Amino acid sequence: MRLISNTLQVQHHSPMMTRQQIGQCADHGGYRSTDIMVAGHWVPGGCPACHREEFARQSLAESQAIESRRKAAALRKIGIPERYLQVGLQDTGLAAKGMDRASILNWLNRRSTYDHLVLVGEPNSGKTLTLSAIAKLCLELDDGPGRMQAPPIFINFGQLRQTWSYKLSGELFPTYTGARLLCIDDFSERADLASDYSAEFIKAVTKVRHDHNLPTMVSCRGLSTAKQYQSHLAHGSCENVTL
Ligand SMILES: [Zn+2]
């Protein structure tokens, strides 16, 4: 045992064998490198400038990967559905409807006359995709150091309805009223509005958002639902876009 232990120690403390070499790099010309002896073979040190460039490339790739993970995490946090994390405005049909990036940015920055952007479309017409793309644009708008605005919030109205409670609304109210942009996907209304407390909750939310001059975005399946939203729930004026 003692012998093995000593041998290991000797190996561990043995100095690494090196030699200085002169080399020629196609990109950087002549260089001095330090070769090292590994298991009885000389391993060339290579061009130091090439190593620095490769290190910089790897660092950049790593920081880009970290950045894209950070962005994806931020998108998940605001509630954008997983399958729409990657979509952008170019994936929507908005440009063909006369809504280009500039007009959407104007709206997000409250340079439009309307508070609510209402997207109307049948199932699979791209409502959720469009909401996601605009929420992403809004997040990017406010992303970066020094920007302390509350991020956008993306909610599915059906899910809100299922999980809504008076207790929960106390927690949700400040978040929904303070969000930079509130996206309400697949809004629908029951015939008996008087007993639809989740809709009443949204009504109260849109009132405060209107008072604070914050934009709200809604998607509905039909024009009649959009009109219900507009007349019963939304404080402020609406712009309807049919997808
Ligand atoms: Zn080189």
- Provide the CB-side half-sphere exposure for 234 (13 A, CA): 28
CATH value at residue 133: 3.40.50.300
pLDDT in tens, the chain (243 residues): 444 444 444 455 557 899 999 999 999 999 999 999 998 899 999 999 999 999 999 999 999 999 888 888 888 888 999 899 889 999 998 988 889 999 999 999 888 889 999 999 999 999 999 999 999 999 887 655 555 578 899 999 988 888 888 888 888 999 999 999 999 999 987 655 556 788 888 899 999 999 999 999 999 999 999 998 998 888 889 999 999
Q: How far is the CA of 40 from the centre of ligand 1 (A)?
A: 26
Residue 117 counted as domain residue? yes
Residue 58 counted as domain residue? no
Q: How far is the CA of 157 from the centre of ligand 1 (A)?
A: 59
116-120 and 216-220: which strand pairing? parallel
Q: How far is the CA of 46 from the centre of ligand 1 (A)?
A: 8
- Residue numbers of the domain that contains 167: 79-242
Q: How far is the CA of 65 from the centre of ligand 1 (A)?
A: 26
Residue 12 counted as domain residue? no
| Strand order from edge to edge, sheet including 216-220 | 153-156, 182-187, 216-220, 116-120, 238-242
Number of domains comprising the chain: 1
Residue 28 counted as domain residue? no
Q: How far is the CA of 210 from the centre of ligand 1 (A)?
A: 61
Ranges assigned E (strand) in the chain: 18-25, 29-38, 41-43, 116-120, 153-156, 182-187, 216-220, 238-242
DSSP three-state, residue 213:
coil
Q: How far is the CA of 106 from the centre of ligand 1 (A)?
A: 49
Residue 114 counted as domain residue? yes
Residue 235 counted as domain residue? yes
Residue 152 counted as domain residue? yes
